[in-house]
Amino acid sequence: MKHRTTVRVRFYELDPYGHVNHSVYIQYFEAARAQWLNELGFPLARLQRDGIQIVVTEINTRYLGSAGPDDELLVETQVLELRRVSMQFSQRILRGEEILVEQTISAACVNELGRPTRVPAELGAALRQGR
Catalytic residues: 15
Q: In what order do the strands lie in the sheet with 86-95?
A: 3-8, 72-82, 86-95, 98-110, 53-63
Count CB neighbours of 105 within 10 A: 21
| Half-sphere exposure for 57 (CA within 13 Å, toward CB) | 14
With contact defined as beta carbons under 8 Å apart, do 29 and 75 qualify? yes
Helical (H) or strand (E) element with 127: helix 121-130
